[in-house]
Amino acid sequence: MKGRESGMPDRDYWESFFNPSCIVERLECSGLPGDIVEFGCGYGTFTIPTARLNFGTVYALDIEKELVSEAASNAVDAGLRNVVAESRDILADGCGRPDGSLDYAMLFNILHVENPISLLREAHRVLKPNGMVGIIHWRRDIPTPRGPSPDIRPTAEECRSWGEAAGLQFVRYESLCCCSWHWGLLMRRP
Ligand SMILES: C[S@@+](CC[C@H](N)C(=O)[O-])C[C@H]1O[C@@H](n2cnc3c(N)ncnc32)[C@H](O)[C@@H]1O
């Protein structure tokens, strides 16, 4: 089942909102030795810089087949061979990776779904001990040009408490000076 309010606008418009390389670096998603999963990858806006900045495989998952194809072809166009893009319902079926197998889980602009804690539990399941979870979302305290309705738009503090309910440990809130409409949060699997 597709998460509520998770449709995407045109790629150029969507990508005008972010400095993706800056965001992934600020959230410590670079120079990792192992593999990474991205829950709901969209066009691969964050997949591509992540794959550039890491040695391992980036598993880029999305329910929309067209977006998955686009993310895969964007990775090929960027000369990257470490992206595995897969069409998958992550809310119904999880991410399909083995327990304790990954270094990092990306939850970018996705935690407004109906059951965020189960997604965070799935991230916890697949991470190695000390594996990290990076979360970003649209701010609710200012007007933004895009993003889910304010009543379902989570704050960083809400996501932190959902992450803790899923067994993750708070690392820090990250100010995303390179992207003024978003907040960032880093958590880890103990
Ligand atoms: C708002 S977009 C964010 C895309 C990407 N993370 C980014 O920030 O550029 C949310 C994405 O989650 C995907 N999505 C929604 N429900 C899903 C599900 N059940 N399984 C997999 N992907 C899903 C949507 O298709 C969409 O591409």
Mean pLDDT for each consecutive 10-residue tract of the chain (190 residues)?
95 95 97 97 98 97 98 97 98 98 98 98 98 97 95 97 98 91 97
Write the class of the CATH domain 11-188.
alpha beta
Question: Does residue 122 have its Cβ closer than 6 Å to ligand 1?
Answer: no
pTM of the model: 0.98
Q: Give the residues across from 184 on adjacent strands.
A: 136, 174
Question: Does residue 176 have its Cβ closer than 6 Å to ligand 1?
Answer: no
Q: Supply the pLDDT for residue 10.
A: 95
Say how far apart CA 38 and CA 56 lie, in whole Å.
13
Say how far apart CA 179 and CA 176 lie, in whole Å.
5
Q: Supply the pLDDT for residue 11.
A: 96
φ/ψ region of 132 (left if φ > 0, alpha if ψ in -120 to 50, else beta) reads beta
Q: Supply the pLDDT for residue 179.
A: 87
Q: Atom 14, ligand 1: which residue's CA is nearest?
A: 40
Cβ atoms of 82 and 107 closer than 8 Å: no
Q: Supply the pLDDT for residue 150.
A: 94
Q: Atom 4, ligand 1: which residue's CA is nearest?
A: 42
Cβ atoms of 112 and 40 closer than 8 Å: no
Question: Does residue 118 have its Cβ closer than 6 Å to ligand 1?
Answer: no
Q: Supply the pLDDT for residue 94.
A: 98
Ligand 1 binding pocket mutation candidate from 110, 119, 152, 183 (most atoms within 8 A of CB)? 110
Q: How far is ligand 1, taken at its centre, from the CA of residue 86, in Å?
A: 12
Q: Supply the pLDDT for residue 118.
A: 98
Q: Give the residues across from 188 on adjacent strands.
A: 132, 169
